[in-house]
Structure 1
Amino acid sequence: MKMIYSIEELKKKEKRSLMSTYRLYRKKILDSTRSGSSVDDIFKPNWFAYDLMDSFLAPIYDKTDTYTINTESMKFPDEDSTQNNLSAGDTSTPSVKKRRESEISEVRAQMKTAVNVLKNISDRPRVEVDEVDLYCQLLAKKTKKI
């Protein structure tokens, strides 16, 4: 049984294979660093292409979005009404009440932040980047450096 592949198909298969192997090793490294292990226990790949690929792929895979959050435009229930509802049946000591109030204010601030982040994300247009575009961007970046 003879299999005939075009050069383009073979290039795509090779690229997919390289990218898949890179992502596998990268995940192993990240998992080993998240586990709280010592520096000696962090996974070190011995794959020939990892260091080279990581040199130009790491900035793309490490990329994280940052958001500017405006919590002043959000409307939430008044603090007084919330505190009145909590303290109506509460017979705790004053220190416990203060701690609960501070916890409530922290949770409220976190909720405002989360809502704003979700709003910012939902307002952004979604851009799908396929592997070929990503690969081309990386190649272009490397050739510019050369």
Structure 2
Amino acid sequence: MGDWTNDCILKLLELYRDEPILWDPNHKYHKDRRRCHNAWIRLSDALQVPVTELKKKKDSIMATYRSHLRKKKSLTDEDYKPVWFAYEAMDAFLGQIVNTQHTIESAKNHSEVNHEIIPVNNEVIVSWTPPGQTAETRQKFQPVENSSELQEATKEMKEAFGILKNVLNKRSNEDDECDLFTKLLAKKLKKLPNHERELFMYEIDGLFIKRSNQVNQINLTLPNS
């Protein structure tokens, strides 16, 4: 249908109203895709319009309806009535459904808050930030001194820190005279200018090479046992 006149839209709404399977979430077959598709086929046959075009038009007029509905709710004048030609026809069977969905969504948004559980000594602090607010609100619950889970977690943390401390102490105690000497030598080398440091390192390395060669010659001259 190239031109959707007001009469055509009202006819579509009349047929759509007679197919509650398409718009009533409480209908027992509302989630049955096959039955819903058959309902759209019936509308398509009655209006001689493809199903895809019917669905697009339905989405368009539903968006307009919701827009007028929000405007009506935002105004304090209870006698306000939208002047859109299709509002009353749609509100007659969709008003309660849309209002219920809006209420559910609002309740869901208010319940979606960020919670954080913070253990402090023997108490549990639960903090949350309500939607649209930046200030943190905290509520303190009763002490949980007898919480076996908290006591077990505290015990495990103490054991872990004890093991880590023992490992660090053991590593520091394993340094022998060679480790201490090399650390002392490295400390002295760092105090020298660059050119003198390289000379000292070269001479020290030479001492090791010379001594190693002497040991090898002695081993070669010794008779095999």
TM-score grouping bracket, smaller chain normalisation: 0.3 to 0.5
The normalised TM-score by structure 2 is 0.25
Asked which structure has the greater RCO (Cα within 8 Å, sep 6+), the reply is: 1
The normalised TM-score by structure 1 is 0.35
Structure number with greater Rg is 2
